[in-house]
Amino acid sequence: MSSRLPQEGSRINREKTIDFRFNGKNLKGFDGDTVASALLANNELFVARSFKYHRPRGIFSAGEEEPNALMGIGKGSFFEPNIRATEIKLKQNMNVESQNHWPTLKFDFLSINNLFSRFFAAGFYYKTFMWPRAAWKYLFEPMIRRASGLGNVPREYDEERYEHIYHHTDVLIIGGGLAGITAAKALRDRGLSIMLCEKDCVMGGRYLEDCKSGNQERYKKLHKGSMEILKKSKDISVKLNTTVTGIFDHGFVLAYEENQHSKTATKKALWKIRAKTIILCAGAIERPLVFPDNDLPGIMLAISVRDYLQKYGVLLGDRLVLTTNNDYAYKTVIELKHRGIDIPVVLDARASADNPIIKEAKDLGIRILFGKCIGKVEGRRKVSAIGICSVNGEGTIEELIPCNAIAVSGGWTPNVNLWSHCGGKLLWDGECGFYKPDPENTPIGKEGETNMLALGACAGVFSNYDIQDQVPRKINQLASRLKIKSKRYIETNIFSKEPTKRTIPTFVLPHGASKDKQNKMFIDFQNDVKLSDLQLAAQEGFENVEHAKRYTTLGMATDQGKTSNVNGIYVLSQSLGKPVDKIGHTTFRPPYKPIPLGLIAGQYAKKLFKPVRKTPIDKWNSLNNAIWEPVADWRRAYAYPKGKESLEETLNREVLSVRKNVGLLDASTLGKILVKGPDAGRLLDLIYTNMMSTLKAGKCRYGLMCNEAGFVFDDGVVARLNDQSFLCHTTSGGADRVYAWLEEWLQTEWHHLKVFIVNLTEQYSQIAVAGPKARELLQAFKSIDLSAEKLPFMNFIETDIDNIWVRIYRISFSGELSYELAVNSNQSEELWNKLVKAGKKYKVQPYGTEALHILRAEKGFIVVGDETDGTVTPHDLGMEWIVSKKKNDFIGKKAFSLPHLNSTLRKQLVGILTLDKDKVLPDGCHAVEDGKAIGHVTSTYFSPTLKRSIALGLIENGRSRKGSTLEFQSLSKESIFAKIVDPNFYDPEGAKQNE
Amino acid sequence: MLYLFCPTCQRDCDETELSCGGQAHLIRRDHASNDKDFYKYLYERKNDKGIIFERWRHVYGCGKWFHTARCTITNQVFGSYSAKEVQPPKSILANIRRSRVDFKGWVK
Amino acid sequence: MTQRVPNKMNRIKGDTFVDVYEIGSIRSLNVRVNHEDKKSLNIIQRNIGIKLPSVQKTTEKNKLTLCWISNDEYLLLSEKKENDGLLNQFEKQMNLTTGVAENTTDLRYWFLIKGNRSLDLLRKGVPLDFGKLEIAEKNFLRTRLGEIQINILIKSLDEILISVLRSHKDYMIDWFEVCSKRGTEINFDL
């Protein structure tokens, strides 16, 4: 039974009680508790069900390595699943729920899986795919989905606050333990900016708790002094509660700040750090020994047993057995013994050991058995006794010892994940049994320089004396290598040199465990990977460690194998009969620990999710009931429904008002690119397929641009403003693309041309005034003569309308008499209102993008992106007339001479009229001939003008099919028959637009 | 995430400020070229493992194009230079040779 | 062309750790000039009498600020109505050369950030290393904020002008509201 001691606990404030709920039970903890320490204080040992077999699991650690105790925390819009109970701070009224069980944790129906565990061996999942086919869909998939897994997906929108923060620093120190603190002190006053990230809420890591009680005061003084130096140093910035989760190219680092202590809501920030040099002081993680029944609640890492004791005053059990292979773990039982806790036995896998710490334990009266280990653990939902067996042998039980807790230590694994994220190589240290950073193969920065240095426990240096000895030296070396102000840093070592604490690399005990025992030895707790699974993988031929990992899922859970990795590799090496350093290791990838999805989104959620561009007339559109259509990043008015009108009625009204009276369109999104300079005409001749240099000032010309492969890229009207200047209009979605295209050619190919390009898209707003009464409307304003003589089709003038400067282009995308008014954007709303007011007399109607599309389709005008898809040439569109034969060179010219672009089998633009005039073809539906698709519909509408369905399409050899009837099919399987015609349904002679 | 030097702005740029334009020093083939050269210009790009020369545009900043030499294995960058250069400058090639003794030089 | 320079400044509301104001349009010209083009350079010198700024810097005179965008592109800002005549004259003359002076007043929307945490606010969206700036001179930086392009004119550490495309105005206001809330300041712990 776990419990809280009456005093002690460096992290908790016993004055302040915190109420929380666990699976509906009201429990109490203290301020400063983690969820895990509070659960243990309330004797909640059994807190989870395992991933595959639904076995009872308990809290196994006190940090981010926790494989078992994943919880759903919070409620409603603050609910977050899969949180490690060992990392989350307890808060008043916090709701905590265990996961992966049904109906309850204690009585989990699916724990039946445990009985059938031999069916769930490594690779069972893949084997379910094989046979029989139907079984996957109806049997295996539903079963696996229910049985496996983590927490539930939150049902409500996440209201947590997330943020991104950019930070640049010369040096980033990862970890605020002894190594990190010493490194920061050694680097200060050298003109560098230094950032230190510590994942915990206090600085210091392990070194304060590790000291002998006699030396505590001296160490505390050192720590206090160090903190004062860090505080005073303006060049050092320290972030607590901040875990570095990933290291990427060129010193880019992601760190996750989770400030659970702030007075306001929890703040979660993703720091995007760019560091020139990274100093890794990430420490080490204790790993367990692998023994039979090693996953029962009540079994915990030895260091974590001590953490709960010293930091939270929580006792895992009052009769605790330690099983270990190293000296360091003895500290745990010594601390417990000092507090009067019963330690029936310590099982040391080594044949003997002579470190003074062993004597200290013996002097306290602790019984130590060398060469022994745990052969079995009794207890169904928690530990009740252990059976002792010999290390060598199959595990015959010699003695049964009742106990309620087991501390386990298999030695320490340096935290090398971050070293490996960006290319650092690892070395196998056979003496200690772990991987450590290879100082010869470091991660590199942008200039190929070594940009990471590992210090302290993560580099395999564990003693405080060695750390305080080595770190200043290594930092001084680094400083001279980086050629930074190299004031030598010297620090007196206050630690005394102690005899080395030894670990004899043993991983699986007993060595000759029987099959039956191997079946109960868990290596990866979170993914339920057993010793037998790894052996099976080796047997089935998965010799490469990366393959074995994926086959067994070893280390692939959210804890990324922090406690299981080294043990797993060892087992694999045994099974394959190869030494560990020949096996290699799997690749560590970011994130080092799981981060919430919301953190990746940062502040860019909800209204900041995507920038929506709004036109200068957006407010008017909005007030006048516009429904919106996204066009690239813009929102444009799709239509303006009135009253109870259906959409069909709206479109009908808008189209007919243009055909009969006059309509207004907000065309502000149209791209407008100024091309200016003595060579402007030359550049445009190269860009457009037709001739632009011959255009006279004051005139407009429609142009098409293609890419080098001969495919249409954009189109629009070019206006020549004066001798040197052209204003090129582009499609709404194409403005930025075309601007970039022009810049690219100008900068990288034709940089000898004297031309400048300015993207003026948003300087000018554009309003189309279209319809037979357009001229009357505009002439209602004083002084404008817009007669056909004064302003013929495809010409423009500059003038004022009520003191507002306008450039009036006489161009038409609807086939009607039409003008487009360019106006400075700041005055565009004012002009629009004037036009609306003056237009009342002429029954003016605003029309949206859908009416615009119908109007142009009636005229057979193409829209880039509808009639073209990046594989369509001007010839395909029947626009040979726009491809200059005179010009020497332009983009696409060579391609037009290639045979496949001139084949008669190419799809060509045609008009399509359904035989049943009320039947509108589905957009994109296919024309079918002899069971073969020969083309598709690109635009299709009901034309209010012609009172019938019309469509445009690309059909193989379409122009020669005019007059014939084709069958069109869509997903609805209904065939529609339609006649192929010329793609111009309205006023083919263009009399109206020329009026 | 790369951090590349923009020779125009004289500063390092986060990769998110840039857009990549693929292989540098392509020679445009116009209408007078033969079909084979034109095909190569349109569709054939180098895909070397190791040192490459590539184009970048500082699209969120000055808007200018530049070239870089980069190792695709380690992402080591050997320098940025003007997009007007028709071949890598000597200083860049020397920089590459300093850390890659087996570097054979730039191939058209 | 007539110009309008709105001078009302709307404070972006909320309990914020910096003060953000909407300025609106600032009279501005996009100036393009090739450094070998002596004629254009002369016109700049003669008309507005400002030296061209160096990389990422600005130069100024009589409430006219010339900002560096690229080695052939500058942004001329005028914060004084009285300069309008001068600018019109400059625009006309410049466009007779091979250079460009093009009115871009309406193209962008400007904001003013005030307070000693102004740069901290920008660090939530801008991937630049502000630590490298020499603040003694006014800096002009063009980069991205989130997904949009942004111009940053750093007048001093507690006075920064920001501009975005006018179509991004509402998005930018939303961004300021979300990111400048008090309680979300960037802090260090020691």
- The shortest C-alpha distance from C128 to chain B (Å) reads 8
pLDDT confidence bin for A262, thresholds 50/70/90:
low
A572 or C2, higher pLDDT: A572
Of A249, A709, A894, the CB nearest to B29: A894
Domain boundaries along the sequence of chain B: 3-28+36-99
**A-C contacts at Cβ under 8 angstroms:** 130
Of A166, A614, A764, the CB nearest to C170: A614
**Domains of chain A from N-terminus onward:** 1-155 (3.10.20.440), 161-283+414-481 (3.50.50.60), 506-583 (1.10.10.1100), 610-670+762-869 (3.30.1360.120), 671-760+872-899 (3.30.70.1400), 903-995 (2.40.30.110)
Ordered per-residue pLDDT tens for chain C, 190 residues: 334 444 567 888 888 899 999 999 999 999 999 999 999 999 999 999 999 999 999 999 989 999 999 999 999 999 888 899 999 999 999 999 999 999 999 999 999 999 999 999 999 999 999 988 888 789 999 999 999 999 999 999 999 999 999 999 999 999 999 999 988 888 888 7
pLDDT confidence bin for A105, thresholds 50/70/90:
confident
Tell me, which fold does domain C1-25+107-124+143-182 have in CATH?
Gyrase A; domain 2 (3.30.1360)
Mean pLDDT of A199-218: 80
pLDDT at C1: 35
Beta bridge partners of A937: A953
A141 or A353, higher pLDDT: A353
Contact C142 B10 (CB under 8 A): no
In angstroms, the CA B49 to CA B70 distance is 10
Q: What are A960-984's pLDDT values in tens digits?
A: 999 999 999 988 778 999 999 999 9
pLDDT at A635: 97
Average pLDDT across chain B, whole number = 95
Rounded CA Rg of chain C: 17
pLDDT confidence bin for A942, thresholds 50/70/90:
very high
* Among the listed residues A701, A850, A835, A679, the one whose alpha carbon sits nearest the alpha carbon of residue A766: A835
**Residue A39 is encoded by which pair of tokens?**
């659960």
pLDDT at C3: 40
Of B1, B33, B57, the CB nearest to A252: B1
pLDDT at C136: 78
DSSP symbols for A611-634: --B--TTHHHHHHTTPEEEEETTE
Q: What are A704-753's pLDDT values in tens digits?
A: 999 999 999 999 999 999 999 999 999 999 999 999 999 999 999 999 99
Mean pLDDT of A557-568: 92
Q: Helix A565-576 and helix A531-539: axis angle, to 10°?
A: 40
**B-C contacts at Cβ under 8 angstroms:** 35
Whether C27-104 and C1-25+107-124+143-182 are alike in CATH topology: the answer is no
Tell me, which fold does domain B3-28+36-99 have in CATH?
Folate-binding fold (3.30.2270)
In angstroms, the CA A595 to CA A162 distance is 11
CB-based contacts of A122: which residues, under 8 Å, 6+ apart? A529, A533, A534, A536, A537, A540, A551, A552, A553
pTM: 0.94
| CA pseudo-torsion sign B80, B82, B88, B94 | negative
* Among the listed residues A622, A605, A611, the one whose alpha carbon sits nearest the alpha carbon of residue C172: A611
Of C105, C128, C146, the CB nearest to A608: C146
State the residue for tokens 């790993």: A287
Contact A760 C95 (CB under 8 A): no
CB-based contacts of A901: which residues, under 8 Å, 6+ apart? A710, A873, A875, A895
pLDDT at A585: 86
B32 burial class (0-12, 13-18, 19+ CB within 10 angstroms)? Answer: exposed
Mean pLDDT comparison of A547-556, A568-577, A874-883, highest-scoring range: A874-883
Lowest-confidence segment of A6-10, A237-241, A482-486, C4-8 by average pLDDT: C4-8
Q: What are A493-517's pLDDT values in tens digits?
A: 888 888 888 888 888 999 999 988 9
Beta bridge partners of A3: A315
Mean pLDDT of A631-646: 96
| CA pseudo-torsion sign C98, C99, C101, C102 | positive
Cα dist. C64→A398, A645, A773, C87, C100 in Å?
Answer: 93, 53, 46, 10, 17
Contact A608 C174 (CB under 8 A): yes
Residue A757 Rama label (left phi>0; alpha psi -120 to 50; beta): beta
Mean pLDDT of A57-61: 97
Stretch 896-955 of chain A: residues touching chain C, C-beta under 8 Å: none
Q: What are A796-808's pLDDT values in tens digits?
A: 999 999 999 999 9
Q: What are B78-97's pLDDT values in tens digits?
A: 999 999 999 999 999 999 99
Lowest-confidence segment of A425-429, A586-590, C65-69 by average pLDDT: A586-590
Contact A748 B75 (CB under 8 A): no
pLDDT at A103: 75
Contact C146 A165 (CB under 8 A): no
Q: What are A162-183's pLDDT values in tens digits?
A: 999 999 999 999 999 999 999 9
**Three-state DSSP class for residue A836:** helix
CATH no., domain C27-104: 3.30.70.1520
Average pLDDT across chain A, whole number = 93
Chains that touch A (3 or more CB pairs under 8 A): B, C
Domain boundaries along the sequence of chain C: 1-25+107-124+143-182, 27-104
Q: What is the dihedral of CA A883, A889, A893, A897, to 10 degrees?
A: 110
pLDDT at A121: 74
Cα dist. A772→A581, A658, A943 in Å?
Answer: 85, 7, 18
Judge contact between A240 and A265, C-beta under 8 A: no
pLDDT confidence bin for A102, thresholds 50/70/90:
confident
Stretch 273-292 of chain A: residues touching chain C, C-beta under 8 Å: 274
Amino acid in position A16: K
Q: Is C165 on the interface with B (CB under 8 A)?
A: no
**Residue A123 is encoded by which pair of tokens?**
């690779």
- 10 Å Cβ neighbour count for A449? 15
Q: Is A870 on the interface with B (CB under 8 A)?
A: no
Mean pLDDT of B98-104: 93
Chains that touch B (3 or more CB pairs under 8 A): A, C
Judge contact between C5 and C23, C-beta under 8 A: no
**Residue A88 is encoded by which pair of tokens?**
């989350």
- Which residues of chain B does C71 touch, with a Cβ-Cβ cutoff of 8 Å? 8, 62, 64
